[in-house]
């Protein structure tokens, strides 16, 4: 959102002007990411449902999982989610939920949250693996374009001035005060730091944890499992990182809505963003 080109054409209401905010490559990679992340989440939950429990170490300690989603043997079954030994009744959502016929069945996540909706580990894996590689290739295109054009540095690396005013930026976000005018066309320090962590830390770690679950990859690079402390640890880390990415997306969407949904959506669809005119602007 930094490398902007202002338009001399006042195509909007008085008091506003248009700036070109997002190049085509950025916009396309953004929407490819949206599709990929949605499919990866839903298919990942389908895979998780094949054994809805998480452990630490190399093997599954069935009697002491870190997290588990199970169903009781009662009729109809009730869902029970256990987290670090503490159990909760989660009937209807986790552990036991209604299938397409309205019958309550035991399953980790409900059918509406998985791809496909019915239980199929093989199909879930097919969806997951295919879109994982689409996601990786799309990310490489984004990184290559960002490095070559300078967009990556401008969008992800905060300036010294921004870092010095990080406290003020935190207060502005907490009070839902958003920048106006030319300042609205640039990522602030919190956005840059967040995107930097997501792009350079969370996503690569998530990819590596996913690869660690592949027997073929283990044969080629057995040391990766050691880095995570075992297969079950890698699976748990993969699951936790997925939840952090979901949290990131939810906060991102909330900020998009709060700061001007239609203006932000238009910017990511067409590249053009409307901002308020300031005294220094040329009419």
Query: Domains in the chain, please, with CATH?
Result: 5-52+112-276 (1.20.950.20), 61-108 (no CATH)
pLDDT of residue 49: 96
Structure tokens at 52: 């809805």
pLDDT over 90 (residue 262): yes
pLDDT in tens, 32-80: 999 999 999 999 999 999 999 999 998 888 888 999 999 998 888 999 9
Instruction: Give the dihedral sign, CA 191/166/204/144.
Output: positive
Mean per-residue pLDDT for 206-210? Answer: 94
pTM beyond 0.85, yes or no: yes
Rg (CA), the chain: 23
Mean per-residue pLDDT for 222-232? Answer: 90
Q: Which residues contact 263 (CB under 8 A, 6 or more apart)?
A: 273, 274
Residue 176 CA to residue 255 CA, distance in Å, equals 9
pLDDT of residue 11: 47
Burial code of 242-268, b = ≥16 C-beta within 10 A, e = fewer? Answer: beebeebbeeeeeeeeeebeebbebbb
Residue 196 CA to residue 20 CA, distance in Å, equals 23
Higher-confidence residue: 82 or 275? 82
Q: By mean pLDDT, which of 11-20, 102-111, 165-174, 237-246 is the weakest? A: 11-20
pLDDT in tens, 130-176: 999 999 999 999 999 999 998 888 888 888 888 888 888 888 878 88
Q: Return the residue matching tokens 């690396």.
A: 157
pLDDT of residue 80: 96
Burial code of 61-78, b = ≥16 C-beta within 10 A, e = fewer? Answer: eeeebbbbbbbeeeeebb
Higher-confidence residue: 191 or 233? 233
Q: Compute the mean pLDDT over every residue in the chain, rounded to the nearest whole number.
A: 88
Residue 189 CA to residue 155 CA, distance in Å, equals 10
pLDDT over 70 (residue 283): no
């Amino acid at each position: 959102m930094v490398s902007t080109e202002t338009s001399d054409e006042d195509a909007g209401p008085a008091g506003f002007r248009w700036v070109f905010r997002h190049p085509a490559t950025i916009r396309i990679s953004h929407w490819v990411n949206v599709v990929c992340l949605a499919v990866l989440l839903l298919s990942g939950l389908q895979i998780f449902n094949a054994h809805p429990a998480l452990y630490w170490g190399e093997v599954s300690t069935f009697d002491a999982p870190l997290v588990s989603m199970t169903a009781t043997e009662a009729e109809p079954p009730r869902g029970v989610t256990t987290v670090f030994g503490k159990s909760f009744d989660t009937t209807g959502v986790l552990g036991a939920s209604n299938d397409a016929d309205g019958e309550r069945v035991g399953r980790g996540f409900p059918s509406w949250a998985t791809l496909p909706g019915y239980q199929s580990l093989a199909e879930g894996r097919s969806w997951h693996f295919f879109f994982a590689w689409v996601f990786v290739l799309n990310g490489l295109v984004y990184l290559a374009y960002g490095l070559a054009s300078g967009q990556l540095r401008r969008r992800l690396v905060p300036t010294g001035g921004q870092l010095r005013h990080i406290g003020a930026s935190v207060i502005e976000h907490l009070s839902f005060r958003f920048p106006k005018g030319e300042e609205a066309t640039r990522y602030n320090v919190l956005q840059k730091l967040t995107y930097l962590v997501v792009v350079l830390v969370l996503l690569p770690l998530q990819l590596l944890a996913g690869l660690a679950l592949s027997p073929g990859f283990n044969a080629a690079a057995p040391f990766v499992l050691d880095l995570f402390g075992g297969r079950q640890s890698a699976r748990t880390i993969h699951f936790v990182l997925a939840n952090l990415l979901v949290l990131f997306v939810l906060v991102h969407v909330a900020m998009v809505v709060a700061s001007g949904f239609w203006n932000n959506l238009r910017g990511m669809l067409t590249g053009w963003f409307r901002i308020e005119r300031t005294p220094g602007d040329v009419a």
